[in-house]
Structure 1
């Protein structure tokens, strides 16, 4: 019963490792899967074969390969090469020794010397890796703590086990239970350490993304779309107001954009936003400005005092460009159904805030319309807006 439960745990850990390998595609998870697989093969053989069985040495070889894969996995998990290069060279030497031991185990049917060397190499590698964990504790606090805890459990298990290396005649299959428990306990702890490492990496990536967006925003640029940020729009609008220049403001909103994220995920939604921003820039002049104000909301500052007919024609071109499908990962995603609210300075506002309020009011009026054009001018009904 104990053997069945242990083998089930090892198989479950191997499946978890495979899932992580498929999701992240990194070599560290491949080493974890191999470590679980060799441990399962080794203990399945040692639990069902007597130490003197002609096939037992193959199970011992699998156990040596578990130790090698576990060592390689831990090196990558703790980033020993980065934090302690000389220590990493010593660990590579132990990997070579484990490889030679595995070759010896395949040709030597007696388990005594194989298990003795394996025990010494596992203890030495665990001690050196614990030193590496201490050196990496500031950068990888939880990973280092969890590895050390797993190492203690492993050493306790293999030290308490009555393996054939400590006496003759060889003990039966039950003598491997404590060693098996130690190996499984460490693999469980390492799985938690991997989760802690992944969480730390994701948090670091999120913090980096936030800093990038903040920096780009301070520079006046939206990091995702390359459009001007709200701060850039406000700065340009304030400059034009100080200079007394006439200009128009067009608020642009993507209707039903949340459905794109629901169907195609955040990556698909980001692709649509970037494409829409590029198409908006293609419809304006060099002196005009396209800015992203929110998730699916853009604004366009148009220099000068164009006739309303010209603004209406531009709105129609923007609507047509926005409706064009967006290529994403070999598929065509539906473009944005666009609504626009247009306000002109100084007629619709003498400050940028009032101008934006007028344009947003026109945008809301446009979105409430079931029929009519995709744009509306501030202070006008849909019928007059349609006539431009």
Structure 2
């Protein structure tokens, strides 16, 4: 029955390979299922003292290598955690050397003990990688961690020739088989969740491309343009700062000057914000009375504070409109940085919003607040 389930998972992997754009990743999954199927089939049928018994260990080495390569791509370790990925590549090299040794060594118990150590150590490394990317891919990371826990428990408890002193007979590897099957099933679900996530991101990107990228009133980037730039920088894993700007009691400006006067003040503030930026930075209008600035890099706190003061001063200057001067806007700012305050655009906005709300609650003090400082105070 377990071998039949492994064959079914191979078919599932082939389906994922056909419907996804990550053919290479899913090819590794199909190979992992195939080598696990062949390895356990031989382990159950060959005598442990037979001349061909070590071929079972060789096939299971191939399973471990293919599983490791699939997991690296599933979790995107090369992109998001390059240091852990280098460790995982080291385990791949160790598995390759162990597989080469399996081809000439016929001591099955010793080979399976080496396999156990390599699988356990590489799995711990992959779990660390899954924890690191959990915010970028929550469901794939969670499912991987659950599958890894089952695999470690099953392989550690399995009565393979390397475990215990009692003579081994075929069929005693059932716990290891169950653990491998359970993890492969969860990896298939994780891969399907990643496909779903990628298609949702693609659909969202298409909707943003279809939406206007410039706010017609102020000439600043629109919310869609802001999301496109922010997501692009996140994909490139660039460091950047987000400054969320709120206009305090701006309804009073509309009440004093009317709709056209209030719109003129908004357009003037957006123009003044752009004057404070470099060529690669961006100012966007996110709401009726709020703006956001994306700054390339993470300047020192003092530089950001000086910029916030300049923005506050520029926003408060009167605005010339139809031969008269209109009162400018009173600005408050919440500042967050990537990657320190968040690794997604949503988490960065939440951090900046908390800092902005804290700034508005203060009766005294500067017109800006840093999300990182609020975290340390808490």
TM-score by length of 2: 0.55
Query: Equivalent residue for 2:10?
Result: 14
Partners of 1:21 and 1:6 in 2: CA distance:
23
Residues 86-125 of structure 1, C-alpha deviations (whole Å, 9 max, x = no match) = 1111110100000011111111111122111110110001
Q: Which has the higher contact order (CA 8 A, sep 6+)?
A: 2
Contact 2:16 2:192 in 1 (8 A): no
User: Does 1:57 pair with 2:54?
Assistant: yes
Which blocks of at least 5 consecutive residues in structure 1 are unaligned?
Answer: 220-388
Query: Equivalent residue for 2:352?
Result: none
Residues 320-349 of structure 1, C-alpha deviations (whole Å, 9 max, x = no match) = xxxxxxxxxxxxxxxxxxxxxxxxxxxxxx
Residues 133-188 of structure 1, C-alpha deviations (whole Å, 9 max, x = no match) = 00000001011100000000101111111111023454111210000000000000
User: Does 1:48 pair with 2:45?
Assistant: yes
Contact 1:163 1:170 in 2 (8 A): no
Question: Within 5 Å, which residues of 2 pair with 1:232-243?
Answer: none
Query: Equivalent residue for 2:123?
Result: 126
Query: Equivalent residue for 2:75?
Result: 78
Contact 1:51 1:170 in 2 (8 A): no
**Change over 3 Å in CA distance of 1:153–1:8 after alignment to 2:** same
Contact 1:38 1:63 in 2 (8 A): yes
Query: Equivalent residue for 2:322?
Result: none
Residue 211 of structure 2 aligns to a residue whose secondary structure is helix
TM-score by length of 1: 0.54
Question: Within 5 Å, which residues of 2 pair with 1:284-295?
Answer: none
Question: Within 5 Å, which residues of 2 pair with 1:163-312?
Answer: 163-215=160-212
Which blocks of at least 5 consecutive residues in structure 2 are unaligned?
Answer: 217-378
Larger radius of gyration: 1
Residue 174 of structure 1 aligns to a residue whose secondary structure is coil
Partners of 1:199 and 1:24 in 2: CA distance:
9
Query: Equivalent residue for 1:102?
Result: 99
Moved segments of 4+, more than 6 Å: 216-219
Deviation at 1:218, TM superposition (A): 7.6
Partners of 1:211 and 1:23 in 2: CA distance:
24
